[in-house]
Chains A and B, each alone.
Chain A
Amino acid sequence: MEVTKSQELYQNKYPSVVDRYFRKKYYLHENRQKEAFCILVHSNRICIVTLGETHPILSQNKTIQSVCFTVGDVNRLDNKVSGKAKRGAQTLTASSPLCEITCDDGEKFIVPAGMKGQLVEVNTQLLNNPRLLTLKPQTNGYIAIILPKLKEFESEMERLLTCEQYLSAVEMTPT
């Protein structure tokens, strides 16, 4: 390959990793609609839970103090999966809590799974570096990786909001 390349290579903006491989779906907290979550859906069915653009943590530029993966009576850090089939994974429903985020101002938020599926991993980088949540909310600041069951994948995708549905939903949400 030559260093001299055809012109189109020298753009200054390219679709990002997220743009290239994922489509975005949204989940709003059942009671507190302001709390939005963006689920990045890979073409291979892997789903990545992230904070939604309008989540108060992001829209109000909050500073995160800590992220805790022990919620209710389960510790998400205990999740262990083995084999291709991810045996032994914790099973999740849309409202299963993944973690609790504590902000500097004392406010706490629970992050729900947003969908049915198996928990593959939680982002342990957040334990030492909770700022990733606000610095890179859609990449290194992801919260967890979920693998929905093949049979349930389509129906789960139906239940989640599309980008347009999300935008119109948050517009109508009273602040």
Chain B
Amino acid sequence: MDVGYDMHVFCHNETILGEITTTLVRAGCCLLCILRHLGVRSPHFYCRPWKDIEAYVLSLLHSSVKDNENSESKANPFAIVKKPCTLCLGILQEHSTKEFFEKIKEQGDREGFQYSSFIASLTVPVCAILRQHSMLLFLKDTHKSVYEDKEDTDIPSIKDVWKWRNGPVLGQVLQASFDQKSQFDILLNFSYPESDRECGFLLDLKPDIFKKRKISKNFKKFGWETFTRANVNKVLSTIPDNVFRSKFQCPPPVPAKICTCNISICHDALYVAGRYNKYSRLLSQTPWVVDGGRKGETSVEELICAPIDQLFKPDEHRFSSSGREDVDVRMLGSGRPFIVELINPHKVKFSQQDLTNLQRKINDSTEDIKVRDLQMVNKEDTMVLKEGETEKIKSYLAVCWTENPVPVEKLEQLSQIQDLKIQQNTPIRVLHRRPLATRERVIHTMSATRIDDHHFQLRLSTQAGTYIKEFVHGDFGRTVPNMTTLLDMDCDILELDVESIELDWPKKLEDGEETIAPSEKKV
């Protein structure tokens, strides 16, 4: 066969290559691990049919055993390699077969995933790092001229070789393309039961580095991890070769077992954004739970997310919005921007028409809220939402009541006031769950319209984060100035609506249905 002499290998002397190959075969390396250690780094070559690769390695063997009386490896050179490979522990053997790929496909189908491309992420047992290091040291001893200047990083990694060889084949099985930018990730976590034991000597060598540590915040779920890729790699470069040789067998021992693989499949989060109106004074924004029992039948979040969940089938959703309104406050005007983060969605192929249909489904399900501009957005876009929470101007309409009749002149004077700075102590209403602080907020404009002697309508535009109810009733004098001090008489708030949130996001959709609330339709 054409073995490709233009291909990159560590050495172009066939006899030496053959000798190295013999060494690797005797050490129990599989075909692909042999290629790795010969320095083959052409993805294309790894994709060749199995028989071609086998023929290439055989031809190298023959070139070395010509003058070798020991023909044991010549007769059946791969008998030894049928066992788990010394270096990859089976990752490039059993876990590189059609049967294994079928298993992956089955799991994806069983979990109901929809995808058209994929990437694979491999986690290789930590001890494989030591084994590879050990093998390289052995090669430095046996074939000094070729390996003396080689580092661990010069050997193509198990991970890369797995992907080079298996990416296209797995793609055929999954009927999807292997694409580094894909959002659909196949996680292959390989574990080898002896890994920690094989790494054990490192603990005695560098006890300060290998402390038991939490893997993550969820350490209770995942347990403890002493040896990680990062700390083993770091330490390996500092251990002198002779010390390593005295602690770890060179070449590495033939493994007793093949490693096992845990397959988990997930899709990156997707983001659905839109704006909502709320027309009910009895509907909370998020599920309202008090002492384990819930108040209110449903919430804005549930009304919006239930149909979205039905379509995208995520593991969970996270609803967030640009600010929030109280249960008894309506959200009018062009609505409040929101975003739903869908964690690990199983269904992902949707057009804007599907989203528009979804919006109609949400809007048909209730009179209490209406959604508009429902669309898919990128992760980067989600930042805009939180900026709007603190920086944008919000407009409100309040119905206020005064104990004494309020003179019209006093109401008219309110519109003279511009950019009024107020000092707001954390309202008593939220003091149990927020730090106590005095915050300065700006009321940009105010205008009042008299309803009768005791009632007026107050239109406000304010800095984001202003507590409106407290600005009207004063919160026991903890917000100053307030309507009570401005009018010099007791003043209370009866109703409040949010009229607009000046955040031009998400983009307005041309063909979006015009959503007008029943209560707004009346003239």
List the interface of chain A (C-beta within 8 A of B).
1-3, 5, 9-10, 12, 14, 16-17, 21, 42, 44-46, 48, 81-84, 86, 120-121, 123, 125, 132, 139-140, 142, 145, 147
Contacts and interface: CB of A to CB of B under 8 A. Distances in A.
B420 interface: no
A21 B477 contact: no
A45 B494 CA distance: 23
A174 to B, nearest CB: 34
A9 B399 contact: yes
Nearest to A42: B428
A125 B477 contact: yes
Nearest to B449: A3
Interface residues of B, number: 32
A139 B431 contact: no
B141 interface: no
Contacts of A42: 428-429, 432
Contacts of B434: 84
Nearest to A138: B476
B453 to A, nearest CB: 9
B397 interface: yes
Given A3-B451, A17-B473, A46-B431, A81 B436 contact: yes
B332 A48 contact: no
B452 interface: yes
A86 B436 contact: yes
B435 A84 contact: yes
Given A1-B399, A84-B434, A125-B477, 10 more contacts: A3-B457, A5-B399, A14-B401, A17-B475, A21-B428, A21-B429, A44-B429, A86-B435, A139-B477, A140-B477
A14 B494 CA distance: 9
The 7 closest A-B pairs by CB, nearest first: A140-B477, A44-B432, A139-B476, A17-B473, A81-B436, A46-B431, A125-B477
Given A3-B457, A16-B492, A10 B433 contact: no
A120 B432 CA distance: 10
Contacts of B455: 9-10
Which of A17, A83, A120, A125 counts the most B-chain CB atoms under 10 A from its CB? Answer: A17
A10 B451 CA distance: 9
Interface string B406-435: 000000000000000000010011111111
B431 A145 contact: yes
Contact of A14 (B332, B449, B474, B492): B492
A17 B492 contact: yes
Interface of B: 330, 332, 397, 399, 401, 425, 428-436, 449, 451-452, 454-455, 457, 473-477, 492, 494-495, 497, 522-523
Nearest to A150: B432
A111 to B, nearest CB: 16
Contacts of B332: 1
A145 B330 CA distance: 30
Contact of A83 (B428, B435, B474, B495): B435
Nearest to A22: B428
Given A9-B455, A12-B454, A140-B474, A46 B436 contact: no
A9 B435 contact: no
Nearest to B522: A2
Nearest to B434: A84
Contact of A132 (B454, B477, B494): B477
A25 to B, nearest CB: 16
Given A5-B399, A9-B494, A14-B494, A84 B433 contact: yes
Given A1-B497, A84-B433, A145 B474 contact: no
A85 to B, nearest CB: 9
Contacts of A16: 492
Nearest to A43: B290
Nearest to A2: B522
Contacts of A121: 425, 436
A83 B291 CA distance: 22
B432 A1 contact: no
A50 to B, nearest CB: 10
26 contacts: A1-B330, A1-B397, A1-B457, A1-B495, A1-B497, A2-B522, A2-B523, A5-B399, A9-B455, A9-B494, A9-B495, A14-B494, A16-B492, A17-B475, A21-B428, A42-B428, A44-B431, A44-B432, A46-B428, A83-B435, A84-B434, A84-B435, A123-B477, A125-B477, A147-B431, A147-B432
A5 B399 CA distance: 10
A63 to B, nearest CB: 20
Contacts of B452: 10
A142 B476 contact: yes
B81 to A, nearest CB: 62
Nearest to B452: A10
B394 to A, nearest CB: 16
A46 B474 CA distance: 17
Nearest to B477: A140
A5 B497 CA distance: 14
A46 B457 contact: no
A44 B426 CA distance: 14
Given A1-B397, A16-B492, A17-B492, A48 B428 contact: yes
A125 B484 CA distance: 15
A166 to B, nearest CB: 22
